[in-house]
Amino acid sequence: VALAFLNAVAAQQAVTAGEADVLRRQTIAQTARTLADNQLRPGAEASRADAERAAALTRAIQARQALAIARATLTQVLGLVDGPVVVNASALVEAAPPGTAAPAQERSPHPLIQSGQAAVDLARARESVLAATDRPRVLLQSSLFARGSGATPDAIFGGTDGLGFDRANWAAGVQVVFPNLFDFASLRARRASAGALTRAEGARYDETLLKVTSEGRAAEAMVAATREIAENTPVQLAAAQQSEMQARARFEAGLASIVEVADTQNLLVQAEYLNAVARVDIWRALLSQAVARGTLATFIDALRASGVQ
């Protein structure tokens, strides 16, 4: 559910960036058409501007389609039949995820590791039981019994005296059980099977431990990378905005071609999208880190620490 929600947030940010790009392309296309009609610019530049506007509109339509699919997926994982589901991610996008994570020693083992260790312990216990099956067993047996009737030797019954135990006795014994010698071949086969099962469970445990460790390291690298990207995207966005503004001014003054404006607008829409989803990517990385650790507690704590409700 959390991943589907974050994907819907990222798709929504893509729609916002795409619609802003369409408006910019439309403005520059109108300017190019006006200049071409007044014979101040060649008609090819007006056609190029129209093509760029159409391409931006196509990308915006694709972004809206991706948003609709993301919302449908979110509705599905939420178990809702009737929609629509409205995503309000303003607090999530604006919130800065905390920069520290819970120390490794404070985290409990991954559930998959716990399950694998339990399977190994069970297989070893089964093997140890079979190892002791062909040994003689010594059983200690005991019995304690008592009676009370209230009857005296002269056959006279006295009141309620029979409620107590008047006579008691006990017995004790030792029993030695020897294994069935004719079951040796079958027992040997069961021991071999138990040993193979123990080795298989141990191999699966090692594989699970390797997988969990690798996923944890990959998640740590993802979190670090997304944080660095989030610090860099505002710089990229400011530079792209400045470049687009200068190229548009040069075009209106007749000092630049429509190709230069189109290139700077392409850089701008890319920078806007990257900057919009940079923090969403951090949250997705933190979610992957929590999944790799086997608990969502750290992810929920990060949300609460950032003030996200």
pLDDT tens digits, one per residue of 218-242:
989 999 999 899 889 999 999 999 9
Whole-structure pTM value: 0.69
Band (pLDDT 50/70/90 cuts) for residue 100 is low
The region of weakest confidence among 70-79, 108-117, 127-136 is: 127-136
Residue 187 has what pLDDT?
Answer: 80
Q: How far is CA 286 from CA 91, 96, 97, 216, 298, in A?
A: 17, 12, 9, 11, 8
Encode pLDDT of 37-72 as tens digits: 887 778 888 888 889 899 999 999 999 999 999 988
Q: What is the pLDDT of residues 253-298, one digit of tens each?
A: 888 888 888 899 999 999 998 988 888 898 889 899 888 888 888 8
Region of residue 296 (left: phi > 0; alpha: psi -120 to 50; beta: else): alpha
Closest-CA residue to 283 (of 115, 44, 98) = 98
